[in-house]
């Protein structure tokens, strides 16, 4: 294991994308996004939202249940999403309107 200072000097740590996301200790992150579009997912009850982060990057966000309903009602609005990384995009665990 490489000590933290040495890892920083060697560039071994991942940098966070422009302060967009805050990592939690449980493998989840929280970020602020603008919801551009929402569609039905392939599985029943799942929605796929296309969202733009503060830094301008676009992401596919998958959600179901309450998080999916919150995304579906937030097209054109800014939301704060608690998510984890998935194979094809971000998987929303919680969504709330920002501001």
For the full predicted model, state whether its pTM sits above 0.95.
Answer: no
- 7, two tokens: 């890892």
CA dihedral sign, ordered 74, 59, 40, 24: negative
Q: What pLDDT digit, counting tens, does each position of 34-66 carry?
A: 999 999 988 899 999 999 999 999 999 999 999
* CA distances in angstroms from 82 to 23, 42, 71, listed in the order given: 10, 22, 12
3-state DSSP assignment of residue 96? strand
C-alpha of 58 from chain center: 10
pLDDT digits (tens, 9 = 90+) for 12-24: 333 333 335 666 6
Cβ(61)–Cβ(51) below 8 Å? yes
């Amino acid at each position: 294991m490489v000590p933290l200072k040495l890892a920083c000097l060697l560039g071994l740590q991942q940098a966070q994308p422009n302060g967009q996301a805050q990592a939690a200790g449980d493998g989840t992150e929280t970020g602020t996004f603008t919801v551009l579009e929402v569609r039905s997912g392939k599985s029943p009850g799942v929605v796929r939202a296309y969202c733009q982060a503060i830094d301008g990057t676009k992401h596919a966000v998958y959600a179901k249940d309450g998080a999916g309903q919150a995304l579906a009602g937030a097209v054109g609005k800014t939301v704060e999403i608690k998510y984890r990384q998935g194979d094809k995009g971000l998987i929303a665990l919680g969504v709330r309107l920002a501001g």
